[in-house]
Amino acid sequence: MELCHANYCIYKIRYQIIFIYEVSGKIILDNDIINYLKYIFFEIGKRYFFEFDIIGKNGGNVHLFVGAEPK
């Protein structure tokens, strides 16, 4: 297990975020939109020091696994 170090602690924090994009049985996102969302998420990660480990879609959901420093 890879641990992260800060001045005051050692940590390994991961969050799972799920966005549901299937509305009334119709999937409203295609691969182009998913790629654009990945771009936006990585830009947000650069700004706020998040680490997006995995971004993918499964059925009617977009799954994000995010690491962040405890604050």
Supply the pLDDT for residue 24.
60
The pLDDT tens digits of the residues spanning 22-45 come to: 666 566 667 787 788 888 888 988
Across all residues in the chain, what is the average pLDDT? 79
Domain edges within the chain: 13-67
pTM of this prediction?
0.64
Nearest Cα neighbor of 70 from 27, 25, 19, 8 is 8
What is the average pLDDT across 10-26? 77
Residues 6+ apart with CB under 8 A from 13: 67, 68, 69, 70
Q: pLDDT > 90: what percent of the chain?
A: 0
What is the average pLDDT across 52-63? 79
Nearest Cα neighbor of 13 from 42, 50, 40 is 50
Nearest Cα neighbor of 15 from 69, 65, 70 is 65
Chain centre to alpha carbon of residue 6: 22
